[in-house]
Amino acid sequence: MLNHKAVLITGGTGSFGKKFVETILSRYPQVKKIVIYSRDELKQFELRLKYPAQSYPQLRFFIGDVRDRDRMVMACEGVDVIIHAAAIKQVDTAEYNPTECIRTNVDGAENVIHAALQCGVKNVVALSTDKACAPINLYGATKLVSDKLFTAANNIRGSKDIKFSVVRYGNVMGSRGSVIPFFLERKKDGVLPITHKEMTRFNISLQAGVDLVMFALGNHLGGEIFVPKIPSYKILDIAAAVASECELKDVGIRPGEKLHEEMITDTDSLNTIDLGKYYAILPSVSYTHTEQEYIEHHEAQKVPFGFKYNSGTNTDWETVESLRDLIKQHVDPEFGI
């Protein structure tokens, strides 16, 4: 799928970008070019040490910001595939710096779309978040706008051979700023801060997120928001898995935080199809494909009326034991030893 293709990853030095590069090099050894586009020169330097030019001549490192439309266009010259992972993601950071979040997550998305249309890119997949579903914080709201921009971009492509779609998933296990590394760090203090004892979240591994993007690239018609079927966990089970001996301190829900996360609302379900391993939310306005064409292409079926996908009412749950295994596998290989 990606052999002999040029791929650009915005936010390419983040957790997802690094895993995506690793996966491409493993699965598609004949990839033509991988452009790692980010504004963090230190992370690019560290990644170049891991992938030296003499051994990985297909890698290119572009310093740039998705806010800069001209630089984005320059980076996209000759590119076949764009994976848009750049974003301001911290909920509290976005609440305190709303304009900066909008410039990166909304204006940046528009710049990626413009560059893709101008440069003859064939496939674009943008990363979203469960917080974009019925958002209550600015981060989620900006990602919902971004999702709408990418799905609607299919309607303005004209005669261009290009497809835009989105992937939406929950908390990535062990990603920077997430709860498990935070608890592992606080474990030495003997006290774990708990925002709310009833809180739940969806859980996905970094590799499963990469695999979802690969699925979207290989199967999208354009306009879909792909959602994986993944388990939930309870915050108390995470605490027990990390450090059952620690005291739990109730610190209250942070501004802009939900008790349970959603990925598909009951209203979204009116446009949602079941693909088996994944769901796909279809665009509410599409001038490129009908609902029936999406269903036939994906060999899918409509979800039941009133369906919703919520971390608190999910039917698939991680246990304390399974979480310990996952922490050892995806976060800390020495965990539990």
Per the annotation, the verdict on 197 as an active-site residue is no
Helix (H) or strand (E) holding 36: strand 33-38
Beta bridge partners, 281, equal 225, 272
Sole residue written with tokens 């706008």: 145
42 exposed, middle or buried (CB, 10 Å; 0-12, 13-18, 19+)? exposed
40 within 8 A of 116, measured Cβ to Cβ: no
46 within 8 A of 18, measured Cβ to Cβ: no
Residues 6+ apart with CB under 8 A from 159: none
154 within 8 A of 283, measured Cβ to Cβ: yes
Q: Which of 5, 18, 89, 131 is catalytic?
A: 131
Cβ-based neighbour number of residue 210 at 10 Å: 21
Beta bridge partners, 31, equal 3
User: Token digits for 111?
Assistant: 């710049």
State how far the Cα of 150 lies from the Cα of 146, in Å rounded to an integer: 6
Instruction: Please give the DSSP secondary-structure letter assigned to residue 246.
Output: S
Instruction: Please give the DSSP secondary-structure letter assigned to residue 335.
Output: T
166 within 8 A of 225, measured Cβ to Cβ: yes
State how far the Cα of 149 lies from the Cα of 168, in Å rounded to an integer: 14
Query: Which residues are known to be catalytic?
Result: 131
